[in-house]
Structure 1
Amino acid sequence: MTEFLGRLGGWCARHGRVVLALWVVLAAGLMLGSLAAGRPVSSDVSIPGTDSQRAHDLVRDGFGPGYDPGGTVQLVLYTAQGTLAEPARKQAVERVVADLGRAPHVARVDPPYRPGGLASNLRIGVITVRMSGHDPTTLAQNTEVLSKAAEPARAAGIEVVPADNSTPADKEIKTGPSEVVGVLCALVVLVLAFGTLVAALVPIFTALVSVAAGLGLIGLLGHVVDVPKQAGIMATMIGLGVGIDYALFLLSRHRRLLASGVGVQESVRRTVASSGGAVVFAGGTVMVALSALMLGGFPLLRTLGWITAISVVFAVLTSVTLVPALLGVLGTRVNALKVPFLGRRGGGESTGWAGLGHWVARRPWRVLLGSVLVLGALAAPALSLKLGPLDDGYGLADSPARRSYELMATGFGPGSNGPLLVVADLGAKAASAADPVVTDLVKRIGEVDGVAHAVPAALHESGRSVLVQAIPDHAPSDPEAAEVVKRVRALSQPDRPLHVGGEVAALSDAGARVSERTPLVIGVVVLLSALLLLLAFRAPVVAIKAALMNLVSLGAAFGALALVFSHGLGSGLVGMDAPAGASFVDTVFFSVPIESYVPLMLFAVLFGLSMDYEVFLLTAVRQAYLRHGDDRRSVADGLGSTGRVITSAALIMVAVFVAFIAYPDPLVKTFGVGLAVAIAVDATIIRGFLVPATMVLLGRINWWCPRWLDRLLPDLSVEGHEEDEPAERREPVGSVRG
């Protein structure tokens, strides 16, 4: 790998302008192509093999057009003065219903002036538009068209709010304040780290090209696969963080070589040959962790995993090709435009971090015990992590989704925002919904504890099954709603099967599936990541220890999530708005559930990102060990040579992730908090204290490798020591083999 990356880096440096032009053309082409073709997204929550999926499949077959749960749009009506039953307002609403019936892809329009269409106060009503033959990925655009058709009602003084669980803004992948703030914060950190503006701009430019190419490809993929609406933002968040960090590590190494008198071309070649290998392995661990989500048994989770991995692939590719190209083009001008008062930075080792390394090496047991106690305290709140579905009641206070949710809850009860779709086999043919066998079933469903009421929605064309809509007493995010699903399913009989679908049922099944697959995903991620480290460093103890250390930082991240979201300590500060009319205490401590699949995906992302710093630190320690064979000194030297750059990289990632907390999507907020806390803890307590202490205590065992295993493993030489040390110093006497 060292030889290959060295040749690649050297070629890119010699042909810098060509490589730069190719990357700019590729990124611009992908972005322009996705903008021209559109960026369709689809938050597909199908869970194959579950009862809710079976119900949804049955609903699509034989119940007439417009009963697909993904093709229903509701327009919620509200009037603050008078009622919707007044002649003038009723006439305006009926005109809207007629106009909606003529809209493209509309199969049926249920007016509010029907049983169950108006609230008891007659001020809130709902028009249900059932779509047929439409593209599910364009539901948001169709909803916007339908909402515009309601202008006659608005002219009559009626508020009309669309409720399809999405808005056009949610569906678009676009650069916003979060991305801009994250990039600006990263630029400030880089300027402070390097002391020159040109050097600081290299990682920024590389990351922007990488993210642009990744987003362009993701946008085009939306035409052939279901891409979740959060995929673009997740890819941007991770892509910016790792893209800047990988370029930062390469640039730091290059500037150190330049400062030591190495020529530009040779410096670039050595940089990519050595640090480039660490970047490839670090990116590989992130991609392995994200790819393991394919075993989660949840299509949405699987797609988010590999879509996000695309951004990491581009970050690695730009780091080992575009960065050397830029360094070759800039030459010694990489140190141009020095910032006053910052002095010379990034050219040598950090004596402060080296001093910390020596301090830890002198008292490893005390440092180990103190680190474990601190990390245990940070992780303790994770035991009270509250998992559950998120509904539109947790959206932004001024968003249409939140407004429609609150109007529906006020007029028809909280369960109206998450009705259950029950598909039941009648056992005999029914002529109509008034048939006794249908009414008896509806009565039994309506009598289930937790069901407010149930009504027959449609009869199958065969007459042997019926679709019943059951409204729970509880909001979709209430854990009791999932219990209602279980009680309704208990009505199923072998000769008369019954299947329950709908948002609540689907999310409940998703949670069960994720819980079932979580041990498998965690095991695969840890095993494959440890295997990659084994290939990189040929040291099984280091590989296993590194994998276990990464699990520790996850505990701190989940502890922070529990404090902020489950206990509500600071949920308002991250932009979660409490319900209207909530007390001051409830507003300050606003508890928010976390989607059941979020911890698993957060685990995969964090495990990969934490492994980045482990790879860079171990690479430096391994290089020092190969020079002199002193365990304690190698730990101090490794921490001293990487401390500043790892700290800068961590600050950049934390800044990027914190900036994304301002994004309106609760899922992105959750990831922003979890990732920021985990990276901060990982780069300070774990890499600064816990890892050095354990390495000092283990001593030569760190690099022990059985002879039989040493013969089996390929020599990938990720450390790149061949590029920096004379041949006679590559394998010290202190090495342990067999």
Structure 2
Amino acid sequence: MAHALYRLGRLAHRRWPAFLVGWLLVLVAIGGVATTIAKPMSDSFTIPGIPSEQAMELQQELFPGADDPLTTPAGTVVVAAPEGERLSDPANAKAVENLLTELRQVPQAGDPEQFVNPVAADQGVTQQYLAAAQENGTPKEVAEANAAVVSPLSEDGRAGLIQWTFDAKSVTDVEPATKDAVHAAVEDARDAGLEAAATGSGLQGMPEMGVTSELIGIGVALLVLVLTFGSLVAAGLPILTALVGVGTGALGVVGATAFFDLSTTTPILATMLGLAVGIDYALFILSRYRTELRETGDREHAMGLAVGRAGSAVVFAGLTVIIALAALAVVNIPFLTAMGLAAAGTVLVAVLVALTLLPAILGALGGRAFAGQIRKDRIVEEGATTDNGGTRWARAIGAHPVVAVLVTVLALGALAIPAKDLSLALPTDSTAAEGTSQREAGDLIAEHFGEGQEARMAVVVDAREVEDPRAAGAAFGEVAAELGALDGVANAQVVGVNESGQGGQVLVTPTTSASDPATEELLHEVRDRVPQFEEATGTTIGVTGLNAIQVDVSEKLQDALVPYLAVVVGLAFVLLMLVFRSVLVPLTATLGFVLSTLATLGATVLVFQEGLFGLVDGAPLISFLPILMIGIVFGLAMDYQVFLVTRMREAYVHGDSAHEAVVDGFRHGARVVTAAAVIMISVFAAFVLQPDNLIKSMGFALATAVLLDAFVVRMVLIPALMYLLGDRAWAMPRWLDRLLPDVDVEGEALTRRTSAAPAEERVPV
């Protein structure tokens, strides 16, 4: 591999015009195709085969045209009169009518008759329930109680719900102008003296990212690169190539929507990874290029050596990231698989850019690659074996390796303890960020209609096997009565019977909110009782609804964590054995990652689930955060392992002792790995400034994971273990050594042809 990459680096450097034009054509072609075939992204988190999805299929069989709560583009505006007043008061009634008029005129509003005054709707619901009660003998007080539960008007008459379905095929087809018009109507209602907020699937979706977070990350990266290279030109090159990679990857993600159902979080993930690994990979190759220039005046040869040596490490580091992301497919969750594959594609682009575009740009720059220097390269003046911060740090760790291991393991273990209380859920109005319309609507609904309003379950009863129609009707009522008697249920009632009388729907309203663990426990209790109900009534029963779907998705994701981690670690372990020709080095690398991952989960639980520091209100973590974090950070952690430890192995195979090999690895790799980690942390941490809690938590978790893994595990634990293992670290059973192909990541097979330029003609960098 080293020889092939050496030739690729030389070719790209020598034929730089062709490579630059080639990348330009690639960008134009991908952009043209992507914008032509692209389809809207979605926010659906469904998983085929989960109980709630099966129940929904049953519901649609019995009630054709029944709405899917995740895909139906619904809208809800909650309005409330000032304290002590009612919506029926003249001034408030006028404000509500004006609001309804504006909503009817919203683009994609659909049938105007959907928009009904909550006061008028309440009267109609009450009359309907009382009339039905007279026919079937239901007590009046029961009918009134049931009517109050489904009424769009609160019991005190102060708050009301205006609900409708947009004239759009799905939630992704609701135009931004439509959402803006709804929010403008809500603002007018507020100006008229009402409390008002809008929510609903048709109004939600990931917020626009803008460029603030990216610019902050890029700004910090530029500062770090300037300090690393001491050159303004060299500092700008990794950022330039990373932006090309991000652009290409993002366009690829857009084009992939024609073939995959991608969620709106996918571009965010691609941006985070594209910037982070793109800068890192270019940084490693550019740093090695500068090192090779100290030995030869032949820039083309130096470029070949840099790509042959550091490029080999980049390829395998990229492969670990790609493996971790592509392995999301084994979880068998469609939206997560698509997200992982799209992100893996972005990483692949970053690798190709670092191996081909960067050498081409350096070929075009020639002797100006390290121009604009703000400090001299002191390493050239002092010699290649001079001590620096990396060597001093390595020797400090080597003086007390046992202490370093114990302190690191205990510290990470203590930080991991809160992870045992990990709770996962999908976003709801009640967990949305403070100040958002969704959060305001959720708070108003909980205040005036009860916390269980948005946590309702739809229990579908299939009585097609029941021969007597009267027995079928009785079965519906029996199921409702049994469910209504459960602790934690505020109300359970039959809300629909199909035309044949063989299908019924029971609406169950909990006393607790969608994010309350008690609601999840109630869902499981209802499902536990289903076999009993089915046997007693001769029916088939399923439980669905938005909250049930979200719980099922979260549980499936949580159950997938351990097998996913096993697959990723197993595949990466084999890959790292190829890289290091060792068993113990990959073992310590993966065990260190497990420690840093658990510690990161613990820290994220403390800050985002328990609300430590007041950064956000405490709420369950987004369901797919842990599994995505594992996939992303495992690959990135192995990046640092590869870049740092390959320099150790390079020194070891060239005759250094195991102890000195650790020092030499830090001499050449510590500064670059530190710079890469700081860049990665800054890119991820910048997303904590986003208002959306999902993006905020992802940025925090990824930044914390890189911080702990790079600076605690790779910079403290790994060198301490390498000191303790000594020569045993590089041992490999002969039979296994014969089985594994020799990929020569450190470029041992490449000879330094420094005769291309005498020492006195070495290039100043």
- TM-score, structure 1 as length reference: 0.88
1:564 aligns with 2:607: yes
Name the structure 2 match of 1:695.
722
1:217 aligns with 2:252: yes
Name the structure 2 match of 1:297.
332
Name the structure 2 match of 1:515.
558
Name the structure 2 match of 1:486.
524
Q: Deviations over 1:487-520 (max 9, x none)?
A: 2223422432221112321222223323333221
Mapped to 1, the partners of 2:347 and 2:337 lie a distance apart of 16
- Which structure has the bigger radius of gyration? 2
Name the structure 1 match of 2:482.
444
1:40 aligns with 2:40: yes
Comparing 273-282 with 139-148, greater Cα deviation is found at: 139-148
Name the structure 2 match of 1:608.
635
Mapped to 2, the partners of 1:139 and 1:436 lie a distance apart of 41
Comparing 275-284 with 156-165, greater Cα deviation is found at: 156-165
Distance of aligned partners of 1:404 and 1:39 in 2 relative to their CA distance in 1, 3 Å threshold: farther
Distance of aligned partners of 1:239 and 1:619 in 2 relative to their CA distance in 1, 3 Å threshold: same
Comparing 539-548 with 489-498, greater Cα deviation is found at: 489-498
1:506 aligns with 2:556: no
Comparing 309-318 with 376-385, greater Cα deviation is found at: 376-385
8 Å CA contact retained: 2:110, 2:167: no
Mapped to 1, the partners of 2:270 and 2:38 lie a distance apart of 18
Name the structure 2 match of 1:338.
373
8 Å CA contact retained: 1:73, 1:162: no
8 Å CA contact retained: 1:298, 1:510: no
Mapped to 2, the partners of 1:363 and 1:307 lie a distance apart of 44
Distance of aligned partners of 1:479 and 1:107 in 2 relative to their CA distance in 1, 3 Å threshold: farther
Distance of aligned partners of 1:372 and 1:435 in 2 relative to their CA distance in 1, 3 Å threshold: closer
1:117 aligns with 2:126: no
Could you tell me how far 1:248 is from its partner in structure 2? 0.4
Mapped to 2, the partners of 1:178 and 1:35 lie a distance apart of 25
Mapped to 2, the partners of 1:723 and 1:484 lie a distance apart of 65
Amino acid at match of 2:76: L
Name the structure 2 match of 1:424.
461
Name the structure 1 match of 2:666.
639
Mapped to 2, the partners of 1:395 and 1:272 lie a distance apart of 46
Q: Deviations over 1:585-607 (max 9, x none)?
A: xxxxx423213432222122111
Amino acid at match of 2:94: A
Name the structure 1 match of 2:348.
313
1:535 aligns with 2:571: no
Mapped to 1, the partners of 2:65 and 2:196 lie a distance apart of 25
- SS of the aligned residue for 1:529 comes to helix
1:230 aligns with 2:268: no
Distance of aligned partners of 1:430 and 1:312 in 2 relative to their CA distance in 1, 3 Å threshold: farther
Name the structure 1 match of 2:590.
547
Q: 1:405 aligns with which of 437, 442, 456?
A: 442
8 Å CA contact retained: 2:245, 2:350: yes
Comparing 374-383 with 82-91, greater Cα deviation is found at: 82-91
Structure 2 portions without partners, runs of 5+: 126-150, 755-765
Comparing 212-221 with 65-74, greater Cα deviation is found at: 65-74
Could you tell me how far 1:404 is from its partner in structure 2? 1.5
Q: Deviations over 1:521-557 (max 9, x none)?
A: 1111111000001122221222222222221221221
Name the structure 2 match of 1:669.
696
Mapped to 1, the partners of 2:607 and 2:183 lie a distance apart of 39
Q: 1:377 aligns with which of 390, 408, 414?
A: 414
Mapped to 1, the partners of 2:302 and 2:167 lie a distance apart of 62
Distance of aligned partners of 1:374 and 1:153 in 2 relative to their CA distance in 1, 3 Å threshold: closer
Distance of aligned partners of 1:358 and 1:449 in 2 relative to their CA distance in 1, 3 Å threshold: same
Percent of aligned pairs with the same amino acid: 34
Comparing 41-50 with 646-655, greater Cα deviation is found at: 41-50
1:465 aligns with 2:508: no
Mapped to 2, the partners of 1:306 and 1:503 lie a distance apart of 27
8 Å CA contact retained: 2:462, 2:539: yes
Name the structure 1 match of 2:760.
none
Distance of aligned partners of 1:21 and 1:45 in 2 relative to their CA distance in 1, 3 Å threshold: same
Name the structure 1 match of 2:220.
185
Distance of aligned partners of 1:21 and 1:426 in 2 relative to their CA distance in 1, 3 Å threshold: same
8 Å CA contact retained: 1:95, 1:152: no
Mapped to 1, the partners of 2:708 and 2:569 lie a distance apart of 19
Comparing 702-711 with 434-443, greater Cα deviation is found at: 434-443
Name the structure 1 match of 2:287.
252
Distance of aligned partners of 1:633 and 1:715 in 2 relative to their CA distance in 1, 3 Å threshold: same
8 Å CA contact retained: 1:76, 1:124: no
Mapped to 2, the partners of 1:565 and 1:156 lie a distance apart of 36
Name the structure 1 match of 2:87.
84
Distance of aligned partners of 1:101 and 1:328 in 2 relative to their CA distance in 1, 3 Å threshold: closer
Q: Deviations over 1:341-383 (max 9, x none)?
A: x443786676221122233334332332333233333333333
Could you tell me how far 1:169 is from its partner in structure 2? 6.8
Distance of aligned partners of 1:304 and 1:268 in 2 relative to their CA distance in 1, 3 Å threshold: same
8 Å CA contact retained: 2:446, 2:452: yes
Aligned pairs for 1:563-602 (under 5 A) are: 563-572=606-615, 576=616, 590-602=617-629
Q: Deviations over 1:386-427 (max 9, x none)?
A: 444442223232212112111211221122123212211235
Distance of aligned partners of 1:143 and 1:441 in 2 relative to their CA distance in 1, 3 Å threshold: farther
Distance of aligned partners of 1:192 and 1:688 in 2 relative to their CA distance in 1, 3 Å threshold: same
Could you tell me how far 1:432 is from its partner in structure 2? 11
1:627 aligns with 2:660: no
8 Å CA contact retained: 1:234, 1:668: no
Could you tell me how far 1:62 is from its partner in structure 2? 4.4
Could you tell me how far 1:11 is from its partner in structure 2? 1.5
- SS of the aligned residue for 2:78 comes to strand
Mapped to 1, the partners of 2:724 and 2:592 lie a distance apart of 15
8 Å CA contact retained: 1:430, 1:438: no
1:453 aligns with 2:459: no
Comparing 299-308 with 178-187, greater Cα deviation is found at: 299-308
Could you tell me how far 1:230 is from its partner in structure 2? 1.2
Mapped to 2, the partners of 1:599 and 1:450 lie a distance apart of 30
Comparing 302-311 with 437-446, greater Cα deviation is found at: 437-446
Name the structure 1 match of 2:197.
161
Name the structure 2 match of 1:53.
53
Q: 2:682 aligns with which of 647, 655, 665?
A: 655
Amino acid at match of 1:10: R
- SS of the aligned residue for 1:490 comes to helix
Distance of aligned partners of 1:395 and 1:55 in 2 relative to their CA distance in 1, 3 Å threshold: same
Mapped to 2, the partners of 1:111 and 1:263 lie a distance apart of 80
1:353 aligns with 2:396: no
Structure 1 portions without partners, runs of 5+: 577-589, 728-738
8 Å CA contact retained: 1:286, 1:312: yes
Comparing 380-389 with 557-566, greater Cα deviation is found at: 380-389
Q: Deviations over 1:35-62 (max 9, x none)?
A: 6766621122222222111122233444
Could you tell me how far 1:179 is from its partner in structure 2? 0.9
8 Å CA contact retained: 1:31, 1:215: no
Name the structure 2 match of 1:581.
none
8 Å CA contact retained: 1:140, 1:168: no
8 Å CA contact retained: 1:140, 1:164: no
Q: Deviations over 1:617-660 (max 9, x none)?
A: 12101100011141111111111110100010011011111101
- TM-score, structure 2 as length reference: 0.86
Mapped to 2, the partners of 1:422 and 1:153 lie a distance apart of 38
Amino acid at match of 2:436: S
- SS of the aligned residue for 1:467 comes to strand
